[in-house]
A and B are shown apart, each in its own frame.
Chain A
Amino acid sequence: MTRELPQLGLGIGWRPELALAIDRRPDLGFVELMAEDFTASAIPPAVDRLRQKGLRLIPHGVSLSLGSAQPPEPRRLEALARLAERVAAPLVSEHLAFVRAGGIETGHLLPLPRTRETLDLMVSHVRQAQAALPVPLALENIATLIDWPDDDMNEADFLAELLERTDALLLLDVENVYANARNRGIDPLDFIDRLDLSRIAYIHVAGGVAKGALYHDTHTFPVSQPVLDLLEEVCARAPIPGMMLERDDCFPGAAELNAELDALAGAIERGVRRRKGSHVSR
């Protein structure tokens, strides 16, 4: 299936602590904005300047809670829609997760049980969100240590069918794929190969940490080699419109940040070369 997806290139999650380094890096094509940190009426000048320089801005929500039993709240959808319009976003993204229940906010992305019934519910919530948003919606796979006792579909098949039925785009988080596969003792490529990679709008990459037997997706460490290798594998399989780094704390200086972005660009380039090489040899 062919889709007209915006070519985003290399990107990064915008954080005030990284604003200067982001402003000075010449090869960025886009930045992602944590949607809840911004209101359409008060965009910081540093962010507007990036847009004037030609970078694309992509609002990334964490509070729609599309995986809740209740439908997404209209006021949250309206705020996201207004922000997307204000920054002329080519698309917005959210997670396949729930973040609140019974009036309790967790501030954390939690998985919903993967059954046929919850899949139908998710399809309906995603369609409601799509109807309220002025631009396409990309859905992200989350990192989780929790599995529900009544799960009867695997994560990749659940996600693939959700995307197929809603025609939503995919925000593939390679670090989350790695973290879940490692914690469940499965092959991350098995997850990748069950998805329609032509739906990828862009990719998230980040660094986590192993504590005891478990790997935690913390976004506070440099990206590890296995995650860069997985990024290369994805880029070797399909053309990917955009890839970006997420860093949420323990912010590095400009030199370390640039080295991180260079490592990402290197893995992407290796993947693209392999893909093009395999096309030629056929």
Chain B
Amino acid sequence: MSAAEQASLAARQEELVRALSGQGPAPAGFDPSCLAATAESLLRKRARTVARVWPALVEALAGDFDSQFADYATCQPMPTEGGPLADGYAFGRHLAHRGELPDAARQERMAVELRYRFTRDGLIRRRWPMLKVQILRKPWRLVLAIHSQSWERWFQIGC
């Protein structure tokens, strides 16, 4: 395959991927109903894999998880690093920016933040020990956690 053919394939694959993740129009020549069905199953699969690794977030959002996740997923593609854990983390950030992150989901986020740092590409595992402190409501409490490569401790003061 020549370099020009390869560049053309890359461009056409990108066009298809953009259409399927809600970031662009349907490319010409494809069956629109099959594209729509694939886009839907792509979204469903993405939501399902995130739900598996973020159970407290799903529970806290209750019945709103699917619609909230669909809102997020159509404006933000999946992070390139960190898989569903990073995708769910970015979803939480999206909710937090809109003031819609449920308090019950914060401790789960804290556990991930202890082990990973969030970058533009997604989640990258921390190499150094990490300490996090957070005030959580319902019930009110101060939570402190320390994580290093081989151990982790959580402390809690409050109700």
Contacts and interface: CB of A to CB of B under 8 A. Distances in A.
A120 interface: yes
Given A107-B42, A107-B78, A108-B42, A102 B21 contact: no
Interface of B: 1, 5-7, 9-10, 12-14, 16-18, 20-21, 23, 28-31, 34-35, 37-38, 41-42, 45-46, 48-49, 52, 77-80, 83-84, 87
22 contacts: A69-B9, A69-B13, A98-B13, A100-B17, A101-B10, A102-B14, A102-B17, A103-B80, A104-B77, A105-B79, A107-B84, A110-B16, A110-B17, A110-B20, A110-B38, A117-B5, A121-B9, A145-B34, A148-B29, A149-B29, A214-B37, A248-B48
A36 interface: yes
Contacts of A103: 80
A146 interface: yes
A101 B77 contact: no
A144 B16 CA distance: 14
Given A102-B18, A104-B17, A249 B42 contact: no
Contact of A101 (B7, B17, B52): B17
B9 A149 contact: no
Contacts of A37: 83
A118 B48 contact: no
A51 interface: no
B30 A148 contact: yes
Nearest to B80: A105
Contact of A107 (B9, B35, B45): B45
A37 B9 CA distance: 29
Given A68-B13, A69-B6, A105-B79, A146 B29 contact: no
Name which of B7, B37, B48 has the most chain A CB atoms within 10 A of its CB: B37
Ranked nearest first, the 4 interchain pairs of A and B with the lowest CB-CB distance are: A149-B29, A102-B14, A69-B10, A101-B13
A181 B34 CA distance: 15
A104 B9 CA distance: 15
Interface of A: 36-37, 68-70, 98, 100-108, 110, 112-113, 117-118, 120-121, 144-150, 214, 216, 218, 248-249
Contacts of B28: 149
B18 A104 contact: yes
B102 to A, nearest CB: 23
Contact of B77 (A105, A148, A248): A105
A195 B9 CA distance: 27
A210 B1 CA distance: 38
Contacts of B80: 100, 103, 105
Nearest to A102: B14
Given A121-B1, A146-B35, 17 more contacts: A68-B13, A102-B13, A102-B17, A107-B45, A107-B49, A107-B84, A108-B20, A108-B42, A112-B13, A117-B1, A121-B6, A145-B38, A146-B34, A147-B34, A149-B28, A248-B48, A249-B48
B145 to A, nearest CB: 20
B7 A69 contact: yes
A69 B12 CA distance: 10
Nearest to A149: B29
B13 A149 contact: no
A171 B41 CA distance: 23
